[in-house]
Structures are given as C-alpha cells and as structure tokens.
Amino acid sequence: MNSRPIYSNSRPVGVTDFWRWWLVIQGGLLTAGSLAITDPHFKPEYVPLGIIFGIAEGGLLILSTLRVPRNYIFRFFFAFNVIIQFAAYPILVGYAANMFLVRTAIKQPLVASLTISAVLAIALVAHIPYAMALFAPLRNGWDRGIASIYGFTWIVAGPMFITDKLDKNIYSHIWRDLLNTGVYGALVFVLVGAIAMYQWGYRGPSWRLNPLAKPWVLAILAGFCVLFLGWNTFSNLDSLRSLFIWQIQFKAVTFYWFAQGLEPGIAEEWLYRYIVLALMLNGLRRSRWQIPGAVFFSGLLFGLWHSTNVTAGQSILATANQVQFAMIAGWFLAVLYLYSGSFIVPMTFHALIDILGMMASGSSLSGTPTLNEYIWGTIMELIYVALTIWLLTGKRRTAMQWTVDNIVPGNPLHFATPFVG
C-alpha cells in the first residue's frame, strides 16, 4: 500500500456528512429491501435476513467513507472495503430497481413504460451520494485515475441487472436495449464522473470549437475521419484497393446495434478523453512534455483497456490487434479533441466507428485478421500516428493549449463558469 492516504484530511468544498449519510442510509435500505423481497412469492423469513444484510452493508459504507487508518493492517482492509463498495453499490442500485419492477408485476405497457422511466430517474439520483462520498474525497491523482477506470466497469454494468426477468411483452425492447447495451449506464457514468471532476477542481470538457484552430487543418482532419469511417465499415481490408473501393452494405440495422455502438462513444470518451486525459494533463503540468505525455499515456491505457475483450470470447489474436488499434486511435482521438476544442468531435467520431462497424458486421467482437488485413490495417494506423505527430508539432500544438487551459485547474477563468466549455 502507498503510504499516502487515499483521502485528504480536509474534504473538498461540498463534501459533507450529508452525502455520507445519504449513501449509508440509502445503501442499507436498498440492500434490506432487495433481499426482503427477493423471492417473487415473498417469504417472511427473508425479512430478518434482509435487515441483517442491510445493516451490514450500511456499516461497510460508513467505513468506506472514513479517513484512512494509520495501522497498515487496518489500512489494507479499509482499501479492500473501498474497492468492494465501488463495485457493489452500482450493482446494488440496479438489482434493487429490478426487484421493484419484478415485484410490481405491471401488465399494462403504458404504465410499465412510465414506471421504468421513474425508476431509472430515481436510480440516476441514487448515484449522486456515491459520487460525492466515494469519489469526491480522493485527493491523489493516481487514486482518482484508478478509481475512475475501476469504477467505470461497474457503473456501466450495474443497470444491466434491471432488465432481468422482466416481461418482454410488457416492457418495450427500447428500454431493454438502452439498459442491456450500457447506454443508460454510460449516462450514469457521465453524471458520476462530472460530479467527481467538479469536486476535484476540474471544469467540464470544452464543447465549442477552438478559436485558435485553423479551418484548413480541421478540413483535413474531417476528410480523414470520413475516409476512415468508410474504410473501416465497408472495406475488405486486404489490399491497397480496400482503401478506396468499398462494398456498402449492412447486416444489422437495428436500434440494438445503434445503442451498442453509442455506449462506448459516450462512456469511453468520457473516461479516457475527459477524465483520464485531464488528470494526466494536470499531473504533467510542469513538464515540457505535458500534452504529448498525456496523449501518449491516455491512449496507452485506452488500448490496454480493450484487452478485457478476450474475456467476452474474442480470440487472443483478434484482441491483440484491437488493443493495437485502440491505443493508436486513442492517441488520435485525444489530439483531435485537444486541437478541435470540442468534445463533441471525438465523441461523435468514436460513436460512428462503433455504430457503423457493428451494423455492418452484426457483431460487437472483432474477428481474427488475416495477414493481409493486419498489414493494411497497420498502414491505416500509421496514418493515424502521422496525423497525431503532425498535430503535436508547431503551431498546432500551441493551439491545443486553449483546450488544455479550459479543462485543467490553474486557468485564470477556471472557477468562473464551471462545466461550460
């Protein structure tokens, strides 16, 4: 364990016991309620069991919001409990929402739609104390980054529990698609990340175009993005001709695949091009390599993140190829954001890559590339690298400072208009 405490001795402005007790009481009640009604036919013996577990979870939540103990043994258990709560709480909210919907057994589609809308709104609000009590007090840059990346998985995955055992004839497939693909979870993560970043002293991402960006440079970048989208979606990727000759066809044009591709465009960009990139830019603020260093390491982490796809059944070779592409694409997405100044640009580009790719292939997993596909794919990636290096040099790098100053603490206008680009 690092000898530095996870939490600061003085909490940031806005982090009070109010948030702690909201988290503790709410977490305990959700646990007790979920276990007490876990059986569809309801058995009275589940009530005391739910109360016992509810009190236990409330106690663990209290411990996770206290200062780090000095004793190394207690410090280990403290950190272990914090890690558990980062994962357990979003799952708990999703499971409790599911238990409520299953137990109410609504039969009218309109009433069911209104009910699930209300439940999702409440579940969103339920994550506010989670962000304020567990994320906001983190003071060390490493702790913030690790917590954000680790919490990302559980925050996005938690709402997927909501659809379990719901009647498909009553609840519209749109609700199931928004929840099962992680789109709703991505919106929850945006809320949690925004609260955490604000409490850590960061502004929100910039949304308007960088006034220092040259129109002709933006035109070149837009042209390449369009070229890549066409090549990635419709090309057979096995020859030089594949760069320009495409077969435009889709296998699965459905809302499900649209949502499946939209989720990473929202959640992964919010994590890696906003939170992680901003944390690294701040950590390297005294270095002459601030911008290229932050771009490189955020892209590296983005690539390594995709190695987890092997657990979803993707082959090792396909995953290795995807990690390579994601790392290089992460570099380009970072400079694309920093130069253009608008977070909408990388978010839209990333979402379109996945939406079009998934609709064209009908799958969320990458196939194992042939040797020719790997060679020509690598050539396209080298173009990415060349554009990234080009943007990181000369006046183009200087122009990026405008975006950096808008998201990193220390800007003279920093606290003037929080969450305004």
Q: Please give the share of the chain, as a percent, with pLDDT higher than 70.
A: 91
Determine contact, residues 312/365, Cβ cutoff 8 Å.
yes
Determine contact, residues 69/78, Cβ cutoff 8 Å.
yes
Chain-centre distance for alpha carbon 415: 25
Condensed to tens digits (0 to 9), the pLDDT of residues 148-189 reads 999 999 999 999 999 888 888 888 888 899 999 999 999 999
The DSSP result for 343-407, as a single string, is THHHHHHHHHHHHHHHHHHS-SSPPPPPHHHHHHHHHHHHHHHHHHHHHTSHHHHHHHHHHHHHH
Chain-centre distance for alpha carbon 177: 18
Name which residue leads in pLDDT, 304 or 413.
304
| pLDDT at res. 38 | 65
| pLDDT at res. 39 | 60
Condensed to tens digits (0 to 9), the pLDDT of residues 101-157 reads 888 888 888 898 899 999 999 999 999 999 999 999 888 889 999 999 999 999 999
| pLDDT at res. 413 | 39
With tokens 């558990």, the residue in question is: 84
Q: How confident is the model at residue 40 (pLDDT cuts 50, 70, 90)?
A: low
Q: Is the pLDDT of residue 41 over 80?
A: no
| pLDDT at res. 331 | 96
| pLDDT at res. 308 | 87
Determine contact, residues 135/192, Cβ cutoff 8 Å.
yes
Condensed to tens digits (0 to 9), the pLDDT of residues 220-241 reads 999 999 988 988 888 877 776 7
| pLDDT at res. 418 | 33
Q: Is the pLDDT of residue 42 over 80?
A: no
**Helix segments in 65-172, DSSP class H:** 72-104, 109-126, 128-130, 141-157
Burial code (b: 16+ CB inside 10 Å, e: under 16) for 265-285 equals: bbbbbbbbbbbbbbbbbbbbe
Residue 139 is encoded by which pair of tokens? 């003071």
Q: What is the mean pLDDT of residues 210-217?
A: 95
Q: What is the mean pLDDT of residues 273-288?
A: 93
Those residues with Cβ within 8 angstroms of residue 51's Cβ, 6 or more apart along the chain or in another chain? 32, 36
Q: What is the mean pLDDT of residues 265-290?
A: 94
CA dist., res. 314 & res. 32, Å (int): 38
Among 240-249, 250-259, 291-300, which is the least confidently predicted range? 240-249
Determine contact, residues 294/303, Cβ cutoff 8 Å.
no
179-188, 199-208, 228-237, 376-385 — most confident range: 179-188
| pLDDT at res. 406 | 87
| pLDDT at res. 25 | 95
Interaxial angle between packed helices 290-305 and 316-340, expressed in degrees from 0 to 180 and rounded to the nearest 10? 150
| pLDDT at res. 245 | 74
Q: How confident is the model at residue 351 (pLDDT cuts 50, 70, 90)?
A: very high
pTM tops 0.75:
yes
Those residues with Cβ within 8 angstroms of residue 343's Cβ, 6 or more apart along the chain or in another chain? 205, 206, 207, 269, 273, 274, 337, 421
Name which residue leads in pLDDT, 377 or 213.
213
